[in-house]
Structure 1
Amino acid sequence: MRIRNSVIVITGAASGVGRATALHFARHRVSLVLASRRVEALEALVAECQALGSRAIAVPTDTSEYDDVRQLASRAVQEYGRIDIWVNNAAVSFFSPFLAVPMADFRRVIDVNVMGYVHGARVALERMQDQGAGVVVNVASIVGAVPQPYTSAYSVSKAAVRALGVSLGSELGLDRQKHIHVCTVLPPTIDTPFFQHAANYTGRRAVAMPPVYSPERVAKAILRLAERPRHELVVGRLGRSMVRQHRLMPGRMEKVMAHQVENTHLSKKQAADPSSGNLYAPSLDPATAQVTGGWKGRRRSARRTLAGAALLGVGVVVLADRLRTART
Structure 2
Amino acid sequence: MKIQGAVVLITSAGSAMGRMLSQHYAELGAKLVLCDHQPHLLEETHTLCNALKASTISYTLSTTPTDDVDALLEYIEQTYQQAPDILINHWPNSAPPSLLLASEHINACLTQWGRMTNNFFVFGQRCAQRMRQSSHPGVIINTVSFNRVNDEHAMESTNAMLMGFTQSWAKELLPYQIRVGGVIPHSQSKHGQHHDYAELTRHTEYIVANDYFSGRVVTT
- TM-score bracket, shorter-length normalisation: 0.7 to 0.9
User: Scaled by the length of structure 1, what TM-score is found?
Assistant: 0.57
**How does 1:1-328 map onto structure 2 within 5 Å?**
1-62=1-62, 64-82=64-82, 83-93=84-94, 98-100=100-102, 102-132=105-135, 133-140=137-144, 148-149=152-153, 151=154, 155-173=156-174, 176-177=175-176, 179-188=177-186, 209-212=188-191, 213=193, 214=195, 215-228=197-210, 229-236=213-220
Matched letter for residue 116 of structure 1: N
CA displacement at 1:16 relative to structure 2: 1.5
Matched letter for residue 126 of structure 2: V
- For 1:23 and 1:164, locate their aligned partners in 2 and report how far apart those are by CA, in whole Å: 26
Contact 1:64–1:115 under 8 Å retained in 2: no
Contact 1:7–1:31 under 8 Å retained in 2: yes
Structure 2 SS opposite 1:3: coil
- For 1:158 and 1:217, locate their aligned partners in 2 and report how far apart those are by CA, in whole Å: 16
- Structure 1 runs of 4+ aligned residues shifted over 6 Å read none
CA displacement at 1:110 relative to structure 2: 2.6
- For 1:37 and 1:180, locate their aligned partners in 2 and report how far apart those are by CA, in whole Å: 27
- For 1:7 and 1:63, locate their aligned partners in 2 and report how far apart those are by CA, in whole Å: 25
Matched letter for residue 21 of structure 1: L
Matched letter for residue 15 of structure 2: S
Larger radius of gyration: 1
Contact 1:136–1:182 under 8 Å retained in 2: yes
Structure 2 SS opposite 1:211: coil
Flag structure 2 segments of 5+ consecutive residues without an equivalent.
none
The change in CA–CA distance for 1:225 and 1:17 in structure 2 (over 3 A counts) is same
- For 1:210 and 1:148, locate their aligned partners in 2 and report how far apart those are by CA, in whole Å: 9
Matched letter for residue 126 of structure 1: Q
User: Scaled by the length of structure 2, what TM-score is found?
Assistant: 0.82
CA displacement at 1:96 relative to structure 2: 6.1
Matched letter for residue 57 of structure 2: I
- Give CA-to-partner distance per residue, 1:62-117, whole Å, 9 cap, x none: 58532122222222222112210011114342586723261223323432432122
CA displacement at 1:123 relative to structure 2: 1.1
Matched letter for residue 234 of structure 1: V
- Give CA-to-partner distance per residue, 1:166-188, whole Å, 9 cap, x none: 11111123xx22x2111111123
Matched letter for residue 98 of structure 1: L
Contact 1:59–1:72 under 8 Å retained in 2: yes
Comparing 88-97 with 61-70, greater Cα deviation is found at 88-97
- Give CA-to-partner distance per residue, 1:261-300, whole Å, 9 cap, x none: xxxxxxxxxxxxxxxxxxxxxxxxxxxxxxxxxxxxxxxx
Matched letter for residue 159 of structure 1: A
- For 1:169 and 1:85, locate their aligned partners in 2 and report how far apart those are by CA, in whole Å: 14
Flag structure 1 segments of 5+ consecutive residues without an equivalent.
190-208, 237-328
Equivalent pairs counted in the alignment come to 207
- Cα-Cα RMSD: 2.5
Contact 1:187–1:218 under 8 Å retained in 2: yes
- For 1:76 and 1:111, locate their aligned partners in 2 and report how far apart those are by CA, in whole Å: 27
Matched-pair identity in %? 24
